Amino acid sequence: MNTFWKAVAQAKQETGADIQTLLSDPARDFTVSQGDVIFDYRKTAMTQAARTTLLAAAEAVVPAARAAMFNGQPINDTEGRAVLHTALRAGPDAEIHVDGADIMPGIRATLDRMGAFADQVRSGAFTGAGGKITDVLNIGIGGSDLGPAMATLALAPFADGPRVHFVSNVDGADFADKTRGLNPATTLVIVASKTFTTIETMTNAATAKAWMADVPNLDAQFVALSTADDKVAAFGIPPERMFGFEDWVGGRYSMWGPIGLSLMLAIGPERFEAMLAGARAMDDHFRTAPLAQNMPVILALVGIWHHQVCGFPTRAVLPYDNRLARLPAYLQQLEMESNGKRVTMDGQNSEGVTGPVVWGEPGTNGQHAFYQLIHQGTTPVPCEFMIAARGHEPDLDHHHRLLIANCLAQSEALMRGRSLEEARAIMAAKGFEDPEQDRQARHRVFPGNRPSTTLIYPQLTPEVLGQIVALYEHRVFVEGVMLGINSFDQWGVELGKELATALGPLVDGADASTKDASTQALLLQLRAWRGD
Ligand SMILES: O=P(O)(O)OC[C@H]1O[C@H](O)[C@H](O)[C@@H](O)[C@@H]1O
């Protein structure tokens, strides 16, 4: 058993504590803060001893791995790549070397070009065939969609540029629905793809060209965000409208650079810079704060406590912030594509479970849907609540007060629960007598002692969003390092892509007899219904 799994085994001895009892210990100050963000993990059953054990396991591996990442060493070693999304938001004085060359001048030049282009589009100096750009269509998928889509919704109160629409799915419904009502002559199309080979994106990009067929000089309204200059050129987009990045930026970590262009068009370069500054502040904190007060490290340890130590299979992300509606989907890619792996860096099977299933929805909507299971189901779901002190609608502040009350009530309810005696008293007050009183009361018992954490911030600004997203990125990194896995490749998405390519001709009618019985039968029926 390696050091990490020994620490997990040791921490297991600490499980089963009562959260409310732990909370009564004033010495257990389980909060950590950085900049505008405070993370409270007192409503977990993690003990001081368990935390000490897990912190020691982190001390053994995180500082060296962290330095290797920030310094540009090729830590993504199944692809031989450095991992430097942090360089995209590094300060003006930073110097970061990859293969002996400082990458920062190139990053800054691209950011400046993006800013100049965004200013031109937003001011109307850059026009489409029909005049000022009114709409932007961002065509991309996965990391080339979720980051900018999540952030554009999150920062909607700051959006004063063209409207931005995100087309990702190869399902034609997505393209049709997002372009309905748009004027092709005043729409800017951004083709966002790190590789510029992703079939969904290239199909939608070709469809966009067809959609714009009547626009004179339509190619002038296309922009590319990619690492693949040659493929962008072959598609017909000239270098001046390509914003490039390098393979040391992973797709799901890429919203800080060119892939963020659609967001920059919506909110303007200054606010985009503010988001980068927020992320940079979290980077600096992650690099320098002692691990016991290091927010990403603490989030990672709480995650490990719940999944590896306590054995809870999933983690719910529950922002009480409607504009963070896409954050759970964003975090699903960030966490599950990064740490959903079975094999460790040395090529061996992991000794235990790796990344959990991550899911969620904004509150309060989730309360009226799936919280039933969270409160009374058989498997505890660690919940990550998040909420701002203030919304962006001063006239509707009474809504926000309700939102805060609901958020805090949920974590309190999960922790306190309701005992059988309390439930019986309620039923007695309603006039029930045994045995019906007992039977009815049992349905109204909440086991309680269910863990949650709460992240709070003053208001969802560009700076705060930058801090929150960087916080989660580093949390995923720390979890990956402790688990001994490479968080930066994604081989698990390949097989399905290969098989889809092979299945294409079969959908069109080619002989399917080499396929398994289920696939054959499904295909034949679908073909019959299609009638072609
Ligand atoms: O940006 P692209 O090269 O088009 O890739 C888009 C997405 O597709 C891939 O299959 C990966 O799973 C994602 O990590 C990536 O973000």
CA distance 273 to 463: 9
Number of neighbours of residue 321 by Cβ within 10 angstroms = 22
Question: Residue whose CA is closest, atom 13 of ligand 1?
Answer: 142
User: Which residue blocks in 305-396 are alpha helix, DSSP H?
Assistant: 327-331, 338-339, 371-376
For residue 479, the CA-to-ligand 1 centroid distance in Å is: 22
Tokens 């991309």 belong to: 140
Where among 450, 475, 508 does a domain terminate? 450
The residue-averaged pLDDT of 522-531 equals 95
Question: Residue whose CA is closest, atom 14 of ligand 1?
Answer: 251
Token couple for 96: 């970061």
- Can you tell me which atom of ligand 1 is nearest the CA of 254? 16
In this structure, the answer to whether residues 63 and 120 fall within a common structural domain is no
- H/E element, 275: helix 269-288
In this structure, the answer to whether residues 441 and 459 fall within a common structural domain is no
**Which tens digits make up the pLDDT trace of 309-363?**
999 999 999 999 999 999 999 999 999 999 999 999 999 999 999 999 999 999 9
The reply to whether 64 falls in a domain is: yes
Provide the percentage of residues in the chain whose pLDDT is more than 90.
Answer: 99
Confidence (pLDDT) at 511: 94
**Which tens digits make up the pLDDT trace of 15-74?**
999 999 999 999 999 999 999 999 999 999 999 999 999 999 999 999 999 999 999 999
In this structure, the answer to whether residues 428 and 526 fall within a common structural domain is no
Confidence (pLDDT) at 91: 85
The residue-averaged pLDDT of 494-514 equals 93
CA distance 32 to 454: 11
For the chain, what is the mean pLDDT?
97
Confidence (pLDDT) at 78: 96
Out of 138, 141, 336, mutate this one to test ligand 1's pocket (max ligand atoms within 8 Å of CB): namely: 141
- Can you tell me which atom of ligand 1 is nearest the CA of 140? 4
Confidence (pLDDT) at 429: 97
CATH value at residue 54: 3.40.50.10490
Q: What is the pTM of this model?
A: 0.97
The answer to whether the CB of 257 falls within 8 A of the CB of 107 is: yes
In this structure, the answer to whether residues 242 and 346 fall within a common structural domain is no
Q: What is the dihedral of CA 315, 319, 322, 323, to 10 degrees?
A: -90
Q: Which amino acid is at 71?
A: N
In this structure, the answer to whether residues 509 and 525 fall within a common structural domain is yes
The reply to whether 93 falls in a domain is: yes
For residue 18, the CA-to-ligand 1 centroid distance in Å is: 43
The reply to whether 77 falls in a domain is: no
For residue 89, the CA-to-ligand 1 centroid distance in Å is: 21
- Of 242, 274, 239, 238, which Cα lies nearest the Cα of 256? 274
In this structure, the answer to whether residues 133 and 242 fall within a common structural domain is yes
**Which tens digits make up the pLDDT trace of 356-412?**
999 999 999 999 999 999 999 999 999 999 999 999 999 999 999 999 999 999 999
In this structure, the answer to whether residues 288 and 192 fall within a common structural domain is no
pLDDT band at 307 (very low <50, low <70, confident <90, very high): very high
Confidence (pLDDT) at 354: 98
Where among 244, 267, 290 does a domain terminate? 267
Q: Which residues are catalytic?
A: 337, 368, 497
The residue-averaged pLDDT of 472-498 equals 97
For residue 334, the CA-to-ligand 1 centroid distance in Å is: 12
Question: Residue whose CA is closest, atom 9 of ligand 1?
Answer: 142
Q: In angstroms, how far is the first alpha carbon of the chain from the final one?
A: 57
Cα angle 107, 109, 111 (rounded to 5 degrees) comes to 70
The total of structural domains in the chain comes to 4
The reply to whether 472 falls in a domain is: yes
Out of 225, 243, 486, 493, mutate this one to test ligand 1's pocket (max ligand atoms within 8 Å of CB): namely: 493
CATH value at residue 525: 1.10.1390
Confidence check: pLDDT of 177 > 90: yes
The reply to whether 481 falls in a domain is: yes
State which residues form the domain around 199. 85-267
The residue-averaged pLDDT of 133-154 equals 98
Question: Residue whose CA is closest, atom 4 of ligand 1?
Answer: 193
Question: Residue whose CA is closest, atom 7 of ligand 1?
Answer: 142
pLDDT band at 1 (very low <50, low <70, confident <90, very high): confident
For residue 144, the CA-to-ligand 1 centroid distance in Å is: 7
Confidence (pLDDT) at 291: 98
In this structure, the answer to whether residues 432 and 470 fall within a common structural domain is no
Tokens 């409310």 belong to: 20
CA distance 41 to 318: 15
In this structure, the answer to whether residues 259 and 215 fall within a common structural domain is yes
CA distance 520 to 21: 58
Tokens 């990194």 belong to: 477
User: How many Cα neighbours within 13 Å face the side chain of 231?
Assistant: 16
In this structure, the answer to whether residues 431 and 500 fall within a common structural domain is no
Out of 169, 195, 488, mutate this one to test ligand 1's pocket (max ligand atoms within 8 Å of CB): namely: 195
For residue 414, the CA-to-ligand 1 centroid distance in Å is: 37
ipTM of the complex as predicted:
0.98
Token couple for 490: 């994604």
The answer to whether the CB of 354 falls within 8 A of the CB of 8 is: no
- Can you tell me which atom of ligand 1 is nearest the CA of 251? 16
Where among 267, 299, 333 does a domain terminate? 267
- For ligand 1, residues with CB inside 6 Å are 141-144, 193-195, 198, 201, 251-252, 337, 490, 493
